């Protein structure tokens, strides 16, 4: 099968549903200009995240890994009224770019970016008793299980926990991968399969980005 079809269909769907706009285009440009990794979710994945936030009527969203704010904007657009999104970003430069993009999207009043290591910031959010409706994990792949362990402490029954990049072009099938990100994703998936805290559906995804997938979990 010619895999360029995945990218072509992605473009077709983005066009059909008008998923791209000037704000989102500018986010992608800013990521290029600042020589940041071009690994934001695709527009279709953004729409998927937006849908998930709408489905759970999210009032408080937590994102782990903001990068340039692309997925942040998709998720924050799903909030209404007094809804809030908190996003944790390790790199100061990335956080500054994200903040600019979020301001351009008119979402600064809804979004707060916390700069630093998520594993240091998450315990603070637990202490502050933050209660989330949706958590999007998209940061350091080797830390996914640790992020999840904090995520469940910030969750209630029905909280949705979504983790990006858990298929890694199918490399998760490899017995002895030397890729730490693959092993991190594998560990995360295996942990979810054994967890009695959540129910999970792992969705394989194709499109403009490399073949990958998201784990969608609901807290019991």
- Per CB under 6 A, residues contacting ligand DHB are 39, 138, 164-165
Minimum Å distance from CB 103 to ligand DHB?
23
Candidate list 49, 164, 166, 172; residue touching Mg ion; CB under 5 A = 164
Least separation, in Å, of the C-beta of 156 and ligand DHB? 26
Q: How many CB atoms lie within 10 A of CB 129?
A: 8
Closer by beta carbon to ligand DHB, 10 or else 138: 138
**Under a CB-based contact definition with an 8 Å cutoff, are residues 47 and 17 in contact?**
yes
Tokens of 195: 């967890």
Report CA 28 to chain centroid distance, whole Å.
16
Q: Which residue is nearest to Mg ion (CB)?
A: 164
- The number of beta carbons lying within 10 Å of the beta carbon of residue 90 is 19
d(CA 88, CA 66): 6
Tokens, residue 157: 């029954």
Q: How far is the CB of 205 from Mg ion (least distance, A)?
A: 11
Closest residue to ligand DHB, judged by C-beta, is: 39
| Residues forming the site for Mg ion (CB under 5 A) | 138, 164-165
């Amino acid at each position: 099968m010619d895999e360029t079809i995945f990218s072509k269909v992605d473009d077709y769907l983005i066009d059909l549903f008008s998923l791209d706009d000037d704000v989102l285009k500018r986010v992608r440009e800013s990521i290029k200009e600042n020589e940041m990794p071009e690994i934001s979710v695709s527009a279709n994945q953004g729409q998927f995240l937006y849908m998930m936030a709408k489905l759970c009527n999210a009032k408080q969203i937590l994102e782990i890994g903001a990068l340039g704010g692309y997925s942040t904007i998709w998720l924050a657009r799903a909030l209404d009224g007094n809804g809030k999104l908190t996003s944790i970003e390790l790199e100061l430069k990335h956080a500054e770019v994200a903040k600019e993009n979020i301001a351009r999207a008119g979402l600064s009043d809804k979004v707060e970016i916390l700069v630093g290591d998520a594993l240091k910031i998450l315990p603070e959010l637990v202490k502050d008793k933050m209660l989330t409706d949706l958590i999007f994990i998209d940061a350091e792949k080797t830390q996914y299980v640790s992020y999840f362990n904090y995520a469940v402490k910030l969750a209630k029954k029905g909280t949705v926990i979504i983790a990006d990049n858990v298929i890694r072009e199918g490399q998760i099938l490899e017995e002895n991968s030397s890729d730490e990100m693959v092993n991190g994703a594998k560990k995360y998936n295996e942990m979810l399969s054994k967890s009695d805290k959540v129910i999970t559906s792992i969705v394989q995804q194709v499109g403009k980005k490399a073949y990958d997938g998201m784990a969608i979990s609901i807290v019991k």
